[in-house]
Structure 1
Amino acid sequence: MHIDAWIESVPPNAVYALVALIIGLESLGIPLPGEIALVSAALLSAKGVVSPVWVAGCAIAGAIIGDSIGYSIGRKGGKQLFEKLGRKFPKHFGPDHLASAERSFQKWGMWAVFFGRFIALLRIFAGPLAGALKMPYWKFLIANVLGGVVWAGGTTLLVYQVGKVAEQWLSRFSWVGLLLAVLIGTLSAWIMKRKAAKSAKQREAENAAAATSSAAAEPTAAAPAVD
């Protein structure tokens, strides 16, 4: 079962815990679809199944706490931790992934943690790698909190608003669909009628031309002989 279908199948109160857990584990460094979980929960909030405020709050908490735990693990394990993970899970923690994440940290510093919240690869690496690279915790915490609030809160708000608009549009879809069906049916009938009339005129013209050609091809009757 996909994560979005799983979230939709659990009781409403369990949605909050699932969102916090999945996003927290992803932020800690475990490759899970945190963004899909957040979007799925936000869509449920647009339907009135869960509260958008609670979805955003749980997602923010999961992101901040998960990143902080990941930071602690990375600080204790160092870069050797990523080398071990790279050998065991080359698809997610391979040398190329690590090198790309490191370049981002070298270029952006603490802002790599903030912007990393919006990028799938950096979202997994941000916390542990910031710890492994010995980034001061206060810098990490500021970027972590800002990134979590903007990403989780902004995504929830955006998806909630889009979902509400889509729900209102879909509620009118039966009338819109009926109107479109009538218009398309009328237009199709008019086009077919015009084509039929055009074809009939063309056949009449062809028959008239054929009759004229046939008459011209007949030999002229011989004139009577004169004594």
Structure 2
Amino acid sequence: MNIDHVLEAIPPLSVYLLVGLVVMVESLGIPLPGEIVLVSAALLASSHSGLNPVWIGVLASAGAIVGDSIGYLIGRKGGKRLFAWAGRKFPKHFGPDHVASAERMFHKRGMWAVFFGRFVAVLRILAGPLAGSLNMHYPRFLIANALGGIIWAGGTTALIYYLGVVADKWLKGFQWAGLGAALVIGVVVTLVLKKRMARNATSSSQSEEKNDAVA
């Protein structure tokens, strides 16, 4: 069962809370499909009258900000030991190369690394814990974290929602156009077949008359 089917089967309030929870857990440093859940919920809202895309964006933003802040505190306390343990458990996300690359970016970009890290899958997981382990000043981290979380969550929700609405309208229009085209083609084919059958019938009767005349 895919994420779309899971979201369709639960009440709207639970969808909002699920989106916020998954994004929060991903942001604090545990690799979960936060972006996939957010996109699926926003797309579902475009065709589901019970879901409000505003609440999806709000809960996703809150989850991103809170999750990154918890991840920051974990990184501040755990530091390098945390990444050594995570590298063994999740080598695809916290391998030495991933962490080293992220550290170089944080040293070079500072707040911008936190802000833009929200839009990159691996950095989205690493941003909070890594900023804490590198002792980034928390108010600076919080500003970049909040701006990145709100723009990422709100922007993604709005974009996917409106794309879904447009696609739904286009598909409905396409369905009506397809039905109309099918009717037109059906009528044309029927008329052509009738004409051919009439011609064949005329030809047959003429042949029979000739044969009778010869006989």
Give TM-score scaled by structure 1 length. Answer: 0.77
**Total equivalences in the alignment:** 188
Q: How does 1:15-30 map to 2 (within 5 A)?
A: 15-30=15-30
Alignment-derived partner of residue 167 in structure 2: 166
Q: In structure 2, how many angstroms separate the alpha carbons of the residues matched to 1:91 and 1:178?
A: 49
Query: Which consecutive unaligned segments of at least 5 residues does structure 1 have?
Result: 187-227
Amino acid at match of 2:149: G
Amino acid at match of 2:12: P
| Structure 1 SS opposite 2:79 | helix
Q: In structure 2, how many angstroms separate the alpha carbons of the residues matched to 1:150 and 1:111?
A: 14
Alignment-derived partner of residue 8 in structure 1: 8
Partners of 1:17 and 1:58 within 8 A in 2: yes
Alignment-derived partner of residue 85 in structure 1: 86
Partners of 1:8 and 1:40 within 8 A in 2: no
When residues 176 and 78 of structure 1 are mapped into structure 2, their CA distance, relative to the original with a 3 A threshold, is: same
Give the superposed CA RMSD: 2.0
Partners of 1:15 and 1:41 within 8 A in 2: yes
Segments of 4+ moved more than 4 angstroms: 179-186
Alignment-derived partner of residue 58 in structure 1: 59
Alignment-derived partner of residue 72 in structure 2: 71
Alignment-derived partner of residue 103 in structure 1: 104
Q: Percent of aligned pairs with the same residue?
A: 66
Deviation at 1:63, TM superposition (A): 0.3
Q: In structure 1, how many angstroms separate the alpha carbons of the residues matched to 2:30 and 2:186?
A: 54
Partners of 1:31 and 1:124 within 8 A in 2: yes
Give TM-score scaled by structure 2 length. Answer: 0.81
Alignment-derived partner of residue 198 in structure 2: none
Q: In structure 1, how many angstroms separate the alpha carbons of the residues matched to 2:111 and 2:185?
A: 57
Q: In structure 2, how many angstroms separate the alpha carbons of the residues matched to 1:10 and 1:28?
A: 25
Deviation at 1:3, TM superposition (A): 2.8
Partners of 2:4 and 2:44 within 8 A in 1: no
1:40 paired with 2:69, answer: no
Partners of 1:75 and 1:132 within 8 A in 2: yes
Query: Which consecutive unaligned segments of at least 5 residues does structure 2 have?
Result: 188-215
Partners of 2:115 and 2:148 within 8 A in 1: yes
Deviation at 1:91, TM superposition (A): 2.2
Q: In structure 2, how many angstroms separate the alpha carbons of the residues matched to 1:104 and 1:49?
A: 42
Q: In structure 1, how many angstroms separate the alpha carbons of the residues matched to 2:134 and 2:142?
A: 15
Q: In structure 2, how many angstroms separate the alpha carbons of the residues matched to 1:144 and 1:183?
A: 57
Alignment-derived partner of residue 213 in structure 2: none
